[in-house]
Amino acid sequence: MKVAVIGAGHMGRLHAEKFARCEGAELVAVVDPDAARAEAVAKPHHVKFFSRYKEIFPLAEAAVIAAPTDRHHEIAAACLDAGLHVLVEKPIARTLAEADELVALAAKKNVVLEVGHVERYNRAMLALFERVERPLFIDAERLSGFKVRGSDVDVILDVMIHDLDLAATLARSPVESISACGFSVLTGDIDIANVRIEFESGCVANISASRVSQTPVRKLRVFSTNFYVSADLQGGKLRFVHRREGAVQESEERFEGDALSAQAAAFVAATRAKSPRPRGQEGRRALELALDVGRLVRERLKRVSA
Residue 29 inside a domain? The answer is: yes
Give the number of residues written for the chain. 306
Q: What is the DSSP string of 121-140?
A: G-HHHHHHHHH-SS-SEEEE
Q: Do 92 and 128 fall into the same domain? A: no
Confidence category of residue 276, pLDDT binned at 50, 70, 90: low
d(CA 160, CA 150): 12
Give, for 6, the enclosing helix (H) or strand (E).
Answer: strand 2-6
How many CB atoms neighbour CB 110 within 10 A?
10
Could you say which of 116, 135, 169 is where a domain stops? 116
Residue 270 inside a domain? The answer is: no
CATH code, domain carrying 189: 3.30.360.10
Residue 201 inside a domain? The answer is: yes
User: pLDDT tens, 161-181?
Assistant: 999 999 999 999 999 999 999
> Is the distance from CB of 172 to CB of 198 less than 8 angstroms?
no
CATH code, domain carrying 16: 3.40.50.720
Sheet containing strand 48-50, strands side by side: 48-50, 26-31, 2-6, 62-65, 85-89, 113-116
Domain, as residue range, for 195: 119-260+290-305
User: pLDDT tens, 57-88?
Assistant: 999 999 999 999 999 999 999 999 999 999 99
Could you say which of 116, 136, 170 is where a domain stops? 116
Q: Do 49 and 164 fall into the same domain? A: no
Residue 62 inside a domain? The answer is: yes
Choose among 124, 129, 120, 11: nearest CA to 65. 11
Q: How many domains does the chain have?
A: 2
Q: What is the mean pLDDT of the chain?
A: 94
Q: Do 155 and 295 fall into the same domain? A: yes
What percent of the chain has pLDDT above 90?
85
Residue 284 inside a domain? The answer is: no
> What is the C-alpha end-to-end distance of the chain, expressed in Å?
55
Residue 175 inside a domain? The answer is: yes
pTM over 0.85: yes
Q: Is 77 helix (H, G, I), strand (E, B) or coil?
A: helix
